[in-house]
Amino acid sequence: MKHLRVIAPLMMFVIVAVVYYGVQAAGERKATLSAVKGTVGVKRAGADKWEAATERMVIKSGDAIRTESASSVIIRFDDNTMVKLGPMASMVLERLEKSEKGASTGLDVSVGKTWARVKKLTDESDFKVRTPTAIAGVRGTYFSSEVAEDTTSNFDVFEGSVEVASVSDPTKKVTVNEHHTTTVGAGKSPTEPTAIPSEDESKRKEGFSNEEFARAVFDVQVSITPQVVTPGEKATVSVQVFKDDAPYRAKVDLTLQLSGSAKFVANNSSEIKTATDENGAVTLEITDEVEESVSVTATLKVKVGKK
């Protein structure tokens, strides 16, 4: 008997979530990649070769990430802090630790531009960005760092504050408050913070926009029951929307797309626009008259408020 085999690519999120949050060892932290655009590479700690980055790829302490031209990637940490690497950037996840008291994150950026949206930290936690010329300590803020080819580093702070010190002399440091910027050259102290021109700030901070940040906190879990069905019979597609790794308790507009000749029973079409219930969930029936593998793609639409 021939069968229809249904494949749901987003089911991998379920596996990742179970491993990541269910059997995580004490002291171990991980981060995942999202919004992978263009050519992005990952080199594992101790490895010699680079591998292509993929959505929801888990990265750990010691792993390196690099982007090529017209490329970018978002790193999502387990406290929902996010860091975005712009084009032609290179970074090593130098430290990713935790204890009963707090968490410690250290990033080593050698070149290129990054944007960091750091969740407010406890007194026992820390988040630091190191460049060839500077070290930035963060308590909870939105800022960017950019390392030029001559290793000069620039820090723009859009929200909160960042303490920036010179690598050559860590006692030489300044506090950069929101809407201000500082530059650190090789062997030099950070410049006195100056106000970012208002006409420039919007452009600089939109490298990691509010909309992009909001989209990155959402995930969609898709499951199929049964996984194998006889052609002409029905299977049930179940969708659950997550925000910050927890079920999103609100209605969400969704567009679901089936590959091949599979159809949704409700409209006899390969695409359907629907909405979840108040718990962010929805179920639909599908069918197919031929034997083939079918993928399910889910696109969600949410309203994003401006800060």
Q: Would you say the pTM of this structure is higher than 0.75?
A: no
**29, 94 Cβ separation under 8 angstroms:** no
Distance of CA 214 to the CA centre of its chain: 10
* Residue 270 to residue 260: CA distance in whole angstroms: 8
* Model pLDDT, residue 191: 97
Q: Does residue 188 register a pLDDT over 70?
A: yes
Give me the pLDDT at residue 14, please: 26
Return d(Cα 256, Cα 249) in angstroms, integer.
Answer: 20
- Higher local confidence (pLDDT), 211 or 156: 156
CB 53 within 8 A of CB 41: yes
| 26 band by pLDDT with thresholds 50, 70 and 90 | very low
Please tell me the least confidently modeled range out of 69-78, 158-167, 220-229, 249-258. 220-229
Residue 222 to residue 53: CA distance in whole angstroms: 22
pLDDT tens-place string over residues 128-161 = 999 999 999 997 899 999 999 999 999 999 999 9
Please report the pLDDT score of residue 17 as a whole number.
27
Residue 209: exposure state from Cβ atoms within 10 A (0-12, 13-18, ≥19): middle
Looking at residue 61, its amino acid is S
> Taking residues 258-284, what's their average pLDDT?
94
Burial of 266 (0-12, 13-18, 19+ CB in 10 A): exposed
For 86-124, the pLDDT digits (tens) are 999 999 999 998 877 788 999 999 999 999 999 888 878
